[in-house]
């Protein structure tokens, strides 16, 4: 059967090894436009400036590369932090603190 195209719809036919020919059925196709969060200035300001997330954390959360997130920060004019400042995610958690969702918070006293 030759391929037929309809606007917004497509014909689909299942092929199997049985001799009976299967009935074609109509499938509706929906266009989905996804905007990645790191291309939205307010998202980056909230995560990077307000919440103190690192570029690596934002990249991991949005399933993007660090370079893409960094380029977006620069493109939006959001100032980058200096290298060497630990921010809110040092590698060694200080006494009296704990890590929650990747950030330092005060430990609960018992």
Confidence (pLDDT) at 73: 96
Q: Profile the chain (110 residues) by mean pLDDT over runs of 10 residues.
A: 51 60 75 84 93 88 93 95 66 81 76
Q: Which residues is 11 bridged to in the sheet?
A: 26
Confidence (pLDDT) at 58: 92
| Residue 69 in tokens | 């997130």
Confidence (pLDDT) at 14: 56
Q: Is the dihedral of CA 45, 105, 100, 95 positive or negative?
A: positive
Confidence (pLDDT) at 101: 77
Confidence (pLDDT) at 59: 92
pTM above 0.85, yes or no: no
Confidence (pLDDT) at 15: 58
Q: 58 Cβ partners below 8 Å, 6+ apart?
A: 38, 44, 47, 48, 64, 69
Confidence (pLDDT) at 70: 96
Q: Other CB atoms closer than 10 Å to residue 54's CB: what's the count?
A: 19
Q: 43 Cβ partners below 8 Å, 6+ apart?
A: 37
Is there a contact between 27 and 4 (Cβ–Cβ < 8 Å)? no
């Amino acid at each position: 059967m030759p391929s037929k195209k309809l606007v917004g719809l497509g014909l689909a036919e299942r092929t199997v090894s049985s001799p009976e020919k299967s009935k074609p059925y109509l499938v509706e196709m929906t266009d989905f436009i996804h905007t990645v969060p790191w291309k939205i200035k307010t998202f980056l300001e909230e995560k990077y400036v307000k919440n103190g997330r690192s570029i690596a954390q934002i990249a991991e959360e949005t399933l993007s590369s660090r370079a893409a997130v960094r380029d977006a920060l620069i493109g939006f004019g959001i100032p980058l932090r200096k290298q060497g400042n630990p921010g809110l995610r040092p590698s060694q958690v200080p006494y009296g603190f704990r890590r929650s969702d990747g950030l330092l918070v005060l430990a609960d006293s018992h």
